[in-house]
Structures are given as C-alpha cells and as structure tokens.
Amino acid sequence: MTLVDWIGFLGVFQILLAYVLNSIGNITNKGLVFILLNLIGATMACVASILLNYWPFIILEGIWALVSLYALFNYKKTT
C-alpha cells in the first residue's frame, strides 16, 4: 500500500470506529470523541481523495469534515 492508501484507510477507519462505538453505546454522537473521530477521519479521507483526484469522495469527505467542524464549534459553545 502507498502512503495515500494508508492516509485514506486510517481516515475511513476513524469514521467507522466512531459509528461502531456510537452504535454499541460506548460514546454519544454529541460527545467530543465522536466529533473528533469524524473530523480527523473525514479530513484524512478527503486528503487521500484529493491526492487521488477522485471528486466524488473529495465532495463527500469534505462536506463530512465541514459538518464535523461545525459540530465541534457547537460543542465548544455548550461546554
């Protein structure tokens, strides 16, 4: 695997980890861990997609990262 593959793999892994942990009740979707896993994961997946020049996932992961960043700002306001 190339460096780009690893960046994308680790990013997607973080997004899936957030989903699994939330689904089994270990974290809440309003919590900081969930938000950060999604933000960092989506950013890494977006970077990998940019390096691969694959527009569908650039758009998907870019929007996912922006929504997660918005959630992080809202989290900071409520704490």
For residue range 10-41, list pLDDT tens digits in order: 999 999 999 999 999 999 999 999 999 999 99
pTM: 0.94
pLDDT band at 77 (very low <50, low <70, confident <90, very high): confident
Rounded Cα–Cα distance for residues 46 and 57 (Å)? 7
Phi, psi angles (nearest 5°) of residue 24: -90, 5
For residues 70 and 30, the answer to whether their CB atoms sit within 8 Å is no
Rounded Cα–Cα distance for residues 41 and 33 (Å)? 12
